[in-house]
Chains A and B, each alone.
Chain A
Amino acid sequence: MREYFKYLLPIVIPLVVLLLPASAFPVEGLTILQQRVIALFLLAALCWVLEPIPIYATSVVIIVLELLLLSDKGIALFRSGAGSPEFGELLSSSSIMATFASPIIMLFLGGFFLAMAATKYRLDVNLARVLLKPFGSNPKYVMFGLMLITAIFSMFMSNTATTAMMLSILAPVIVLFGKDDPGKTAFALSIPVAANIGGIGTPIGTPPNAIALKYLVGENAIGFGEWMAFGVPFVAILLVFAWVLMCAMFPAKQDKIELSIKGKFLKTPKAIIVYVTFAATILLWLMGSSHGMNSYVVAMIPVAVFSATGIINKEDLKKISWEVLWLVSGGIALGLALDQTGLAKLMVNSIPFDNFSPFVVLGGAAALCLLMANFMSHTATANLLMPIMAALGMSMSSLVPFGGGVTLILVVTFAASLGMSLPISTPPNALAHATGNVESSQMAKVGVIIGVVGVLMSFIMVWILNLVNFI
């Protein structure tokens, strides 16, 4: 019976909400469209938590349901009351469809092209080989080298792909450890931890960052370089902390470790195009808007270059993680519906948040996000929380001395990446757990400590950013 709950709840609860009379809600002036958005939001939340269908499928369902129930080109039956104040304003169908090609999606597509080209022309493995050399053969330092490289790569590649690559480099080394050597655990666990932390460093590092950018618009806009200016130091400090923690918890008994990675840098014309385009794109991103292009426009350059030169061919195109793009699109569409129907504002206004201490709100939001991110997809967590946080941040005047909405969004975004205490928390964790060298309890200890410390650090970070008048 419990098996059926995950299918029943996401259907029954939104349906009940949909069929209730408007007076059943403890909010003044709820429109019919807003009531439908509540039902949709519950559907999304339940589907993303219970996962009766894949999480990207939930996103697509949300977009289609929005088109059917909320848009100006939806089913006629559901548009019959249009125009009256108690019905609410219909959403434009083209703006709902446009979430599939939102600038945020394009930014990620550009990131995917860069990562794919780098992998195809072995830039990633070759860089790892060269960068690991200075770290010698002392297990402690080799581990730090691995973590550093994993973190740097995961700023530009997906956390999962980076983890997969580094674990495969690591596999022949881990075998050499003695049967009861805790070093095995430290090495296997260091990779997903570094990948999760590293993703925080850039807007394209992990989808929650890009979702946050969606809500940081106008005077709150944060450029690619600006994000890295605070993201990278944050990653660096937390990475060192994680390294010290894991060295102390799982000290390696072996005193020497040799990594061997075969291969050499490719020097073919195509490979050189990949190197140059990669470097140029990152440089343009770091230059901010001094050249007039924003990061979304810059992201399209590698897409064109790699397609035109055949570096990414049609077979490679099929391998792009379209489901990640769809997952984010669904989140954007949900945010759009919450915002355009005025539901987000209405909900936030009807709860007297202004009476709460801003610390309670910030701490509560971060804790909620961290908790959710441990049990469900980081991206889905951000999809659900970010539109609400954006509305909350805008309306809470008591937050202004602490940086306003930006503070709230950044803290929540960072917390979304810090959920890493279970094998199910993130795909990188699952990969490391599958190597058989990490037990769930060990992962939980390390994950909880890093999660809590990371969230506390993010508070210090926004406090500093506020001090220097950045936000």
Chain B
Amino acid sequence: MEKINIICVDDQREVLSAVSKDLSALSDLFQIEECESADEALELMDELDAEGQHIALVISDHVMPGKTGVELLTEISDDNRFAKTKKILLTGQATHQDTIAAINRARIESYFEKPWKADVLLATARTLITEYIFDQGLDYQPWSEQLDNAVVLSRLH
């Protein structure tokens, strides 16, 4: 079976663990990776991609030392290799301008404000991963128990 990854990026360990915990329902079928900086995330993505693995979703904080989350997500959206990767910005400190850049340049699929609701984040992650699987033309069945059924039905129609 193809390996599908979810990458979480935040410079604060405890936030990172909290996000992972909220997504733990997905961890049986998908690999959840934690990165503490944008550069670490890019390096990891490069590696995973070279091994032929999929990166379905990147969930990133905005304010971090080094590259910001919006810069990271913009780079990902400009990279042909990750053209279909879904992106979530999860932040409490983005300015109005940052938000505009996140939508216009990073083309994020979803925006979460801290503190976030665990069940909503999990549901959104499910929806986006399902869309990724169909966008890539993968067979959805091996993962079907963790996918968003509404998306599956509309894509099969």
CB–CB A266/B138 < 8 A = no
Q: Which residue of A lies closest to B139 (CB)?
A: A313
CA distance A262 to B139 in the complex (A): 29
CB–CB B52/A270 < 8 A = yes
Most buried by A among B50, B79, B136, B139: B50
CB of B51 within 8 Å of the partner chain:
yes
CB–CB B81/A263 < 8 A = yes
CB–CB A313/B52 < 8 A = no
Name the one of A262, A269, A315 contacting B136, with C-beta atoms under 8 angstroms: A315
Nearest chain A CB to B45's CB is how many angstroms away?
12
CB of A271 within 8 Å of the partner chain:
yes
Residues of B within 8 A of A314 (CB): 137
CA distance A122 to B134 in the complex (A): 21
Count of chain B residues near A, Cβ 8 A: 11
CB–CB A315/B137 < 8 A = yes
CB–CB B137/A266 < 8 A = no
CB–CB A268/B51 < 8 A = yes
CB of A258 within 8 Å of the partner chain:
no
Nearest chain A CB to B48's CB is how many angstroms away?
11
CB–CB B136/A267 < 8 A = no
CB–CB B137/A268 < 8 A = no
Name the one of A267, A269, A270, A313 contacting B50, with C-beta atoms under 8 angstroms: A267
CB of A316 within 8 Å of the partner chain:
yes
Residues of A within 8 A of B51 (CB): 268
CB of A264 within 8 Å of the partner chain:
yes
Residues of A within 8 A of B79 (CB): 262
CB–CB A313/B137 < 8 A = yes
Sample 23 A-B pairs with CB under 8 A, ordered by A number: A122-B81, A125-B80, A262-B79, A263-B81, A264-B50, A266-B50, A266-B52, A267-B50, A268-B50, A268-B51, A268-B52, A269-B52, A270-B52, A271-B52, A313-B137, A313-B138, A313-B139, A314-B137, A315-B134, A315-B136, A315-B137, A315-B138, A316-B137
Nearest chain A CB to B78's CB is how many angstroms away?
10
CA distance A315 to B140 in the complex (A): 12
CA distance A263 to B49 in the complex (A): 10
Nearest chain A CB to B151's CB is how many angstroms away?
15
Nearest chain A CB to B85's CB is how many angstroms away?
16
The B interface is mostly helix, strand or loop, or mixed, namely loop
A interface bracket (residues with beta carbon within 8 Å of B): 10 to 19
Q: Which residue of A lies closest to B49 (CB)?
A: A266
Q: Which residue of A lies closest to B51 (CB)?
A: A268
Residues of A within 8 A of B137 (CB): 313-316
Residues of B within 8 A of A316 (CB): 137
Residues of B within 8 A of A264 (CB): 50
Q: Which residue of B lies closest to A265 (CB)?
A: B50
Nearest chain B CB to A118's CB is how many angstroms away?
14
CA distance A262 to B138 in the complex (A): 26
B60-103, CB < 8 A from A: 79-81
Additional 14 contacts, C-beta under 8 A, given A266-B52, A313-B137: A125-B80, A262-B79, A263-B81, A264-B50, A266-B50, A267-B50, A268-B50, A268-B52, A269-B52, A271-B52, A313-B138, A313-B139, A314-B137, A315-B136
CA distance A59 to B23 in the complex (A): 52
Residues of A within 8 A of B134 (CB): 315
B127-146, CB < 8 A from A: 134, 136-139
**Chain A 237-277, CB within 8 Å of chain B: the 1/0 string?**
00000000000000000000000001110111111000000
Nearest chain B CB to A7's CB is how many angstroms away?
35
Q: Which residue of B lies closest to A262 (CB)?
A: B79
CA distance A367 to B51 in the complex (A): 53
A441-457, CB < 8 A from B: none
**Chain B 105-117, CB within 8 Å of chain A: the 1/0 string?**
0000000000000
Residues of B within 8 A of A262 (CB): 79
Nearest chain A CB to B118's CB is how many angstroms away?
32
Q: Which residue of B lies closest to A316 (CB)?
A: B137
CA distance A122 to B138 in the complex (A): 18
Residues of A within 8 A of B136 (CB): 315
A102-153, CB < 8 A from B: 122, 125
CA distance A264 to B80 in the complex (A): 13
Nearest chain A CB to B80's CB is how many angstroms away?
8
Nearest chain A CB to B2's CB is how many angstroms away?
9
Most buried by A among B81, B136, B137, B139: B137
Q: Which residue of A lies closest to B53 (CB)?
A: A268
Please provide the 9 A-B residue pairs with the shortest distance between their CB atoms, ordered closest to farther: A315-B137, A268-B52, A313-B137, A316-B137, A270-B52, A268-B51, A266-B50, A314-B137, A264-B50
CA distance A198 to B138 in the complex (A): 34
Q: Which residue of B lies closest to A312 (CB)?
A: B137
Q: Which residue of B lies closest to A121 (CB)?
A: B52
Residues of B within 8 A of A122 (CB): 81
CA distance A263 to B80 in the complex (A): 10
Q: Which residue of B lies closest to A314 (CB)?
A: B137
Nearest chain B CB to A121's CB is how many angstroms away?
9
CA distance A268 to B138 in the complex (A): 17
CA distance A266 to B81 in the complex (A): 12
Nearest chain B CB to A318's CB is how many angstroms away?
8
CA distance A268 to B81 in the complex (A): 15
CA distance A267 to B81 in the complex (A): 15
Nearest chain B CB to A236's CB is how many angstroms away?
30
